[in-house]
A and B are shown apart, each in its own frame.
Chain A
Amino acid sequence: MSGAEFVPLSLPPILIASFAAVACALPGNFLVLRKQAMIGDAISHVALPGIVVAFLLTGAVSTWPMMLGAAGAAVVAVLLIQFVHRVGRIDPGASMGVVFTAMFAGGVLLLEQSDTSSVHLDVQHALYGNLESLIWLDAFGWESLLDPVALAGLPPELLRMAVVLVLVTGFIRLFWRPLKLSTFDEGFARTLGMRTDLLGLALVVTAAVAAVAAFDAVGSIIVIAMFICPPAAARLMTNALERQIAWSCLFAVLAAVLGYVLAGYGPLWLGAPDAVSAAGMIATVSGVILALAALFGPCRHRLGQPKGA
């Protein structure tokens, strides 16, 4: 494949998908270890009502209000889940199920009630994203990467996703020790005077920021899959958190690149004329990686469990 075709059409989506995947996988490591994996699921469901409310308030499909709306909805959902869990004395899984399904239903209803036929805002878009349409029209080949005029025409999602990735990485680097400590031994962290509750909320907010940015670019399926699958697969590869995070980033990038290529070119190889959903294929590839790790990963068993069990 020539650079003239690859750089404008495939390079930006692959980069965006990889950034999004890593940005979600990083906080996902901690969510999986803290047994909060389903928070990612809840966040990506409630982003829809957040986006719809932001649209109804501003009356336009513009990125920042919608991202704020989705992030706000995520925080509201997390607080509501805590509220139902604590005050109503309902187990966390069920209270999560109550909150996110109701908020999602509210979002769908609002969407149906409001006149959004004139704008590109629908449930399908929120689910699959439009990765394939994030192309770089100003590029003509590899040399465009050095051309400032052409670079200005890059899809804005690419820059946004890169910034979010830097933010997420920065948060985890900055709070590395407290995060690690409170994840593995929350009681001990609290005796050292750490505000583990605030740290937990900060982690969820970081996850929500990553989810919302990724959501805008690639849809919610990748978000849920990337929160959980690469960290879960990495968990089966090693016992050290540092190495687990490295593995999860590797798996995330692998899933993004392989998934995009398979979705775009796989059907052509099989003789079918049209590409399939890249977002869905990336999620599928991440599942295949997890399945392989679950079958052959060196640390796939629980400690103390006999090898044959």
Chain B
Amino acid sequence: MLDLGYNATLVMIGAGLLGIAAGVTGTFLFLRKRSLVSDAISHSTLPGVGLAFIVMVAFGGEGRNLFGLMAGSALSAGIGLLCVTWLTTRTRLAEDTAIGAVLSVFFGAGIVLLTVIQNMSAGRQAGLESFLLGSTAGMLRIDALTIAGGGALVLALVVLLRRPMTLSAFDAEYAASLGLDNRRIDLAMMGLVLGITVVGLKIVGLIMIVALLILPPVTARFWTERSDRVVLIAGLVGGVAGAGGAVISASAPALPTGPIIVLSGFALFALSFLFAPNRGVLAALADHLSFRRRVHLRQGLLALAQGQPVYEALTLRLLRRAGLIRRDGVATDAGRAAAAKALLDERRWQLLRADLASETAAARYDGLTPIESVLTPDQVATLDRALRPTVAS
């Protein structure tokens, strides 16, 4: 890691900053449930790249100036974004249709321009295809500085705008009642996304830049329920994926930077998806299994208490393992006590649910919760007084 060359270090810093900024910006897009708009924005940068190249060559420039290409891509991405907004608000088309239409048409137009450039004498070695998949080969110092600086600028703007954007994402009407203009907040958010796309174009490429905007917030969402922490974790995930991906890709040949960064982010996502507490797959699975065990135990105990035979294999196994029945299926002392307690609990619940006055408490009934955890001891005692005649008979 320390023997990274000067160039690779530059790329790593640039990619890391870009990742942090993209993760943080993407979070607001994700909270607005508009993640895929970024796909339209990123694809519609292509005609801008082509046009900027043609214009720069026409004015006698070199054509490959990164700053000029970025300006062109920002312009056409902005037009693409306006087209999506216009199609969604002014026609009956849904937002996903508008996104798909804009991304494919702009991308197609960009490809046409790329073939035009290939036919130009100055365009033979233009290498504009590298904007499709990203490339860090032959990246200049000024390029890396532009990317790092752009990432830092977007990050600063997000920090400034975080409050209105969070408010608008969670409760747009409340935001409007405070005098905030949701449309302008949305526009600002999309502007930031556009900034990330343009800055990241060179490293990750326009097809995969959306991954940097989508993966970090989705990953972060598994770990917390609080929006400010989602923002922080998403920035962290994006930064780790960006810098880590750049380091890995510099470590060996034939490891292109863009895909490695995206796959590093995906690895973080997959780990979180599996192992995160509460929202992760394994946690959900454990939850489900423990719920099933409790239901089976409870039903088994109720059957024992009422002298009914138990046939279900899982129930028998659970009862036996808990020492509540013997191998031949007859209840042990502990089993009889637990069964009687379960039956009493069920009778108390029955009584409670029959009483309209205690509707709120009765709503907590799920067949598993002990009634003592819902009612106070004297409320339980009142129930028991009403139960006594039936118990006595």
Contact = CB atoms under 8 A, between A and B. Distances in A.
B100 A37 contact: yes
Contacts of A202: none
A36 B103 CA distance: 15
A232 B101 contact: yes
A102 B92 CA distance: 32
Contact of B279 (A37, A38, A89): A89
B205 to A, nearest CB: 9
Interface in B26-48: 30, 33-36, 38-39
A108 B259 contact: yes
Contact of A232 (B34, B97, B211): B97
Interface string A127-140: 11000000000000
A30 to B, nearest CB: 12
B343 to A, nearest CB: 37
Interface residues of A, number: 69
Interface of B: 30, 33-36, 38-39, 86-87, 90-94, 96-101, 103-112, 114-116, 119, 129, 132-133, 207-208, 210-211, 214-215, 217-218, 221-222, 254-256, 258-260, 262-263, 265-266, 269, 273, 279, 281, 284
A127 B132 contact: yes
B285 to A, nearest CB: 9
Contacts of B119: 267, 272-274, 276
B215 A93 contact: no
A305 B93 CA distance: 13
Contacts of A283: 104-105, 107-109, 111
A88 B35 contact: no
B93 A229 contact: no
Contacts, number: 215
B208 A127 contact: no
Interface stretch (A64-72, A142-150, A174-182, A284-292): A284-292
B97 A280 contact: no
A259 B98 CA distance: 21
What are the nearest 3 A-B pairs in CB distance?
A: A283-B108, A287-B105, A280-B111
B258 A108 contact: yes
Interface stretch (A4-12, A14-22, A55-63, A220-228): A220-228
B100 A284 contact: no
Interface stretch (A165-173, A193-201, A295-303): A295-303
A290 B281 contact: no
Given A108-B256, A276-B112, A98 B218 contact: yes
Contacts of B132: 123-124, 127
B281 to A, nearest CB: 6
Interface in A186-243: 221-222, 224-225, 227-229, 232, 235-236
Nearest to B280: A88
A284 B222 contact: no
B259 A98 contact: no
Most A-side CB within 10 Å, residue of B108, B111, B279: B108
30 contacts: A32-B94, A91-B35, A93-B36, A94-B217, A97-B35, A98-B211, A98-B266, A101-B211, A102-B263, A102-B266, A104-B207, A105-B260, A105-B266, A112-B254, A112-B255, A127-B111, A224-B104, A225-B108, A229-B101, A229-B104, A229-B105, A232-B101, A273-B119, A275-B115, A277-B114, A280-B111, A280-B114, A281-B112, A284-B108, A290-B105
A97 B210 contact: yes
A93 B35 contact: yes
A128 B113 CA distance: 13
Contact of B36 (A38, A105, A282): A38
Nearest to A282: B108
A227 B100 CA distance: 9
B96 A35 contact: yes
Nearest to A223: B104
Contacts of A235: 92-93, 97
Interface of A: 32, 35-38, 40-41, 45, 84, 87-91, 93-98, 101-102, 104-106, 108-109, 112-113, 123-124, 127-128, 221-222, 224-225, 227-229, 232, 235-236, 263, 267, 272-277, 279-284, 286-287, 290, 294, 297, 299-303, 305, 309
A279 B107 CA distance: 10
Contacts of B269: 98, 102
A306 to B, nearest CB: 12
A81 B281 CA distance: 15
Given A97-B39, A273-B119, A38 B100 contact: yes
Contacts of A41: 39, 100, 103-104
Contacts of A95: 218
Contact of B103 (A35, A90, A102, A224): A224
Nearest to B34: A93
A302 B87 CA distance: 11
A215 to B, nearest CB: 13
Given A229-B104, A280-B109, A287-B101, A300 B91 contact: yes
Contact of B96 (A36, A45, A273): A36
Contact of B108 (A89, A91, A97, A221): A221
Nearest to A283: B108
Contacts of B210: 97, 101
A232 B100 CA distance: 10
B214 to A, nearest CB: 4
A78 to B, nearest CB: 15
Given A94-B218, A283-B105, A40 B100 contact: yes
B56 to A, nearest CB: 19
Nearest to B270: A102
A105 B263 contact: yes
A38 to B, nearest CB: 5
